[in-house]
Structure 1
């Protein structure tokens, strides 16, 4: 049988002294404070350190949920512009819809036709702004009229006709509310004065379409325009 070493009396006395000192220092109050550490099984609350940690962990989970919701609704700058998406998508949509302040190029043009059905006078793809248009018939004939239709991004924004009537000294446009703030804008000098619709400043994001017709194939209609394009 192997020998079992036993400490001498001096060593045992030293250990006993340490135990006595620990017992003296560890009062009931201090022992109670150690109990405040608790265990990992403590429910969330304020009774122990572990209980408090569990409570904090619950708060962190709540905050993470709020952050997830914020990310879902706010979105990211990498998302495409959308009128019904996240906040950043809608912001990008609004910015893209703004009237270009300084179009890269300005275009002036005209188109004439004797067709009594709508003809495409101008078709533009891209982003820009319709600055103004003009429409007129070659001759003043009582009851005959030109018609102009303006479509931006697939939506008709103006569609009206001009009427030459013996009651007026020139043409007036019936149905447009953009000239002189009235539903009818007319000139009072010569009978075939063009009808101008200036300062429209109608923005378009993807497309611009102008269409025109004359009510009588023997009376040519002419459309002129000015637009800016990025």
Structure 2
């Protein structure tokens, strides 16, 4: 029973194979579809991905591209362009095309030529500016993490996440409507609660606001130092936040 191989007419590489039990019916389907195919009982000379259909319509192992076209993965610190491939065999295609600008990030480059094994490599551009932006993103996340730790108020830890701050705002609005307002305030970070008055609520809200504001002020100072090259590592970001939040002597 023959095996059927469909192939790409431009690059001659095999795209699929099948060994159906009903060869006549399968052949008719392929003919109706209209794509090029061959059928043969010959064994593959190598893995399917490395084989192609020659001009004599026999399956052969495809040749390697010239070494100058088989570039390795690269990491650069400046923007560049897709390199030229001067030894690319006739009919070869490079995608993206040679000369295409390559900026920050990873660009995958595909090199193909008829009856040659496909080659793919990447060029990663990671600039000093990318490193700074990555560190700023780390600092922003560190600010968020610290915000979840809460502010200190009379031996309690006041939640300072976005939801808790919204609840404080809502409660303060209620105090303007209810003169003798009071409640039992929950401190979920340390698992405690305490009765509070309107004045104490304002103290809590101000403690939370002062802590959050200190974090944003610290972040801005850190961001400026990162841009200036004065902070260049995660542990320096951590140290800068710790120094900014340390109690005054």
Superposition TM-score, scaled by structure 1 size: 0.24
Superposition TM-score, scaled by structure 2 size: 0.23
Greater C-alpha radius of gyration: 1
Higher RCO (Cα < 8 Å, 6 or more apart): 1
User: Between Structure 1 and Structure 2, which shows a larger proportion of helix residues?
Assistant: 2
User: Between Structure 1 and Structure 2, which shows a larger proportion of strand residues?
Assistant: 1
